[in-house]
């Protein structure tokens, strides 16, 4: 199946915005609330894996499923989401790209300037989080990279604190999708955010990526819950639907996160191999706990 990659989407800001048009009904409303009341997790969905679904059709379908947010939208997409009663749960663009992150001091000036501009705008649009990255190693030792990240993030944390927006550094795998990415283990990211010591600098724990790199998902999340502000899903192997072809028991993981009282967003980021909106509805129902 041919699809846009996440790297392409993030580096180019590529999520096609179609002009407003009249769209028909997008199927029946899925039942995403189990008997006894609403689910305990605030589920969201990343836009880029569903880029083939026209923007207005996608946002309408997401709202019809009972979701309230969409992840990884750029600033120009936020108003379109709001037309359907949706917020952006993770803003994309202000924090730079995957490969050139806070681990390199030479990137700091550009990243800090972009975040200082973008965070107040995110706050004004009620976007609670913005994404940024550790960057690729290029031979840099981990301890040097951690120190560089802490130095840069310390320079931008106050604007995040002042505006109530959380800077989320994403943990990604370097084994399959992002060769040489430095923030490829939870311990690396935890060391950085602990040293920064800000309630507005946290980690985006991508369950798909960390299953590939280290597994031990539930224990890691429980032991370090205060450092994780956001979660992403994706089936392993393949990053496809959250179904019985995958090795993660998603309902168990979702329930464990909900049991911790997590009040951030749990966002779906899988590449659908079947009808995309049907697959999304199934994932939402599966993770409604």
Average pLDDT for 74-82:
96
**pTM for the predicted model, two decimal places:** 0.88
Write down the domain spans for the chain: 42-278
Average pLDDT value for residue range 29-47: 66
What superfamily does domain 42-278 belong to in CATH?
A: Divalent-metal-dependent TIM barrel enzymes (3.20.20.150)
Please state, rounded to an integer, the average pLDDT across all residues of the chain. 90
Reference 105, options 138, 80, 130, 131; nearest CA is: 138
pLDDT band at 9 (very low <50, low <70, confident <90, very high): low
Average pLDDT over residues 70-89: 97
Residue 36 clears pLDDT 50, i.e. is over it: no
What number is the average pLDDT over the span 192-219? 98
How far is residue 162's CA from residue 14's CA, in Å, rounded to a whole number?
A: 30
Query: Which of 23-27, 162-166, 202-206, 235-239 has the weakest average pLDDT?
Result: 23-27
Please tell me the predicted confidence (pLDDT) of residue 12.
42
Confidence at residue 92, expressed as pLDDT on a 0 to 100 scale: 98
Per residue, what are the HEC states of 129-155? EEEECCCECCCCCHHHHHHHHHHHHHH
Choose between 38 and 158: higher pLDDT.
Answer: 158
130 with 90: CB under 8 angstroms?
Answer: yes
Per-residue pLDDT, 6:
55
Q: What is the model's pLDDT at position 147?
A: 98
138: pLDDT strictly greater than 50: yes
The pLDDT of residue 29 is 35
pLDDT surpasses 80 at 8: no
| The total number of residues written for the chain in this structure | 289
Nearest-angstrom CA–CA distance, 23 and 284: 23
- Average the pLDDT over 90-115 and give the result: 98
- Using a pLDDT cut of 90, give the percent of the chain over it: 87
pLDDT at 5: 54
pLDDT of residue 19: 32
| pLDDT attached to residue 25 | 31
């Amino acid at each position: 199946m041919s699809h846009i990659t996440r790297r392409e989407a993030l580096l180019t800001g590529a999520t096609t915005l179609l002009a407003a048009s009249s769209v028909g009904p997008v199927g029946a409303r899925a039942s995403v609330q189990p008997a006894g009341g609403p689910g305990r997790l605030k589920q969201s969905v990343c836009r880029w894996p569903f880029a083939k679904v026209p923007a207005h059709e996608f946002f309408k379908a997401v709202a019809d499923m009972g979701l309230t947010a969409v992840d990884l939208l750029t600033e120009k997409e936020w108003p379109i989401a709001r037309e359907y009663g949706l917020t952006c749960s993770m803003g994309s663009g202000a924090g730079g790209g995957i490969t050139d992150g806070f681990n390199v001091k030479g990137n700091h000036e550009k990243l800090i300037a972009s975040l200082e501009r973008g965070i107040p705008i995110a706050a004004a649009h009620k976007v609670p989080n913005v994404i940024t990255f550790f960057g690729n190693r290029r031979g840099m030792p981990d301890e040097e990279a951690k120190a560089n990240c802490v130095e840069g993030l310390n320079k931008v944390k106050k604007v995040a604190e002042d505006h109530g927006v959380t800077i989320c550094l994403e943990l990604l795998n370097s084994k399959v999708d992002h060769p040489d990415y430095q923030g490829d283990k939870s311990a690396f990211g935890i060391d950085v955010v602990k040293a920064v010591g800000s309630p507005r600098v946290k980690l985006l724990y991508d369950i798909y990526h960390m299953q590939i790199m280290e597994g031990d998902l539930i224990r890691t999340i429980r032991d370090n819950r205060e450092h994780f502000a956001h979660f992403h899903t994706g089936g392993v192997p393949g990053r496809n639907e959250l179904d019985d072809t995958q090795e993660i028991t998603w309902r168990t993981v979702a329930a464990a996160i909900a049991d911790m009282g997590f009040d951030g967003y749990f966002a779906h980021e899988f590449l659908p191999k079947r009808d995309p909106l049907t697959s999304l509805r199934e994932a939402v129902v599966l993770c409604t706990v």
